[in-house]
Amino acid sequence: MNRLHSFFRFCRVVGLCFLFSCTQSSSDKLSDLVDDSAQYHKIVALYNPEKAQKQQHQLDSLFRALQKKKGFNGTVLITQYNKVIYRGAFGYADFSKKDTLTTHNSFQLASVSKQFTAMAVMMLQEAGKLNYEDEVQRFFPDFPYKGITIRHLLTHRSGLPNYTYFTEKYWPDRKAFISNEEVVRLMTEHKPAIYYPPG
């Protein structure tokens, strides 16, 4: 139940940030800029340092209150018109050691990175560098699972085992982050069973 409350708290914070970032006067409508070839420069020109400073103070008050009242723990980066208007860190990077969290701490992004990976793959496909039907072995020749395509990976139909489960046996330091390269290496070396055939 505590995780559910934490999830809803996180959703509220993200929602507040989204709503806050979407408020703009009618003269600031980005939709007016869509067909302009100098769109980037017009967006940057909308940036108002005085307004951003006021927003920065409001955001800082919001996140400090969330930390104090609700135990918010995390880092925040908010941009507007291609400028950083708020950056902050709250809580601990390591609760057991009481290491203070900073804006320079690394996080495992996990599923948050899926949309960026999918977009990068689509751009590579559009550029003719790969095809959705290419098998993983084209890029990782030693990969031990035959018949798994890029499309299977993108649509979560590869049948590959969940790396967070099988790596527990093979990854010595459970507190250390595991890289994608290490996951592929462990799959190649240990060949954990797939959950189901790809497709």
Residue 18 covered by a domain: yes
Helix (H) or strand (E) holding 198: none
- Where in the sequence numbering do the catalytic residues fall? 111
Judgement on whether residues 13 and 62 belong to the same structural domain of the protein:
yes
Judgement on whether residues 123 and 88 belong to the same structural domain of the protein:
no
Mean pLDDT of all residues in 45-54: 83
The Cα angle at residue 4 between residues 163 and 62, in degrees rounded to 5 = 110
pTM of this prediction exceeds 0.75? no
Q: Which of 13-22, 23-32, 46-55, 168-177 has the largest mean confidence?
A: 46-55
Tell me which residue range forms the domain holding 20.
2-107
Judgement on whether residues 81 and 16 belong to the same structural domain of the protein:
yes
Q: Which are the contacts of 74, defined by CB distance < 8 A and separation ≥ 6?
A: 89, 90, 91, 101
Determine what percent of the chain is predicted with pLDDT higher than 90: 52
pLDDT tens by residue, 130-158: 999 999 999 999 999 999 999 999 999 99
Judgement on whether residues 76 and 96 belong to the same structural domain of the protein:
yes
User: Which token pair is 7?
Assistant: 């999830």
Judgement on whether residues 147 and 54 belong to the same structural domain of the protein:
no
What distance in Å separates the CA atoms of residue 111 and residue 176, rounded to the nearest whole number? Answer: 18
What distance in Å separates the CA atoms of residue 141 and residue 196, rounded to the nearest whole number? Answer: 21
Judgement on whether residues 102 and 132 belong to the same structural domain of the protein:
no
Number of domains in the chain: 2
Q: Which are the contacts of 170, defined by CB distance < 8 A and separation ≥ 6?
A: 186, 189, 190
Handedness of CA 92, 96, 99, 105 (dihedral sign): negative
Residue 89 covered by a domain: yes
Judgement on whether residues 71 and 100 belong to the same structural domain of the protein:
yes
Where does a domain end: 59, 79, 107? Answer: 107
Mean pLDDT of all residues in 3-15: 47
User: Which token pair is 124?
Assistant: 């590579």
Asked if pLDDT for residue 31 goes beyond 80, the answer is no
Residue 196 covered by a domain: no
Judgement on whether residues 72 and 24 belong to the same structural domain of the protein:
yes
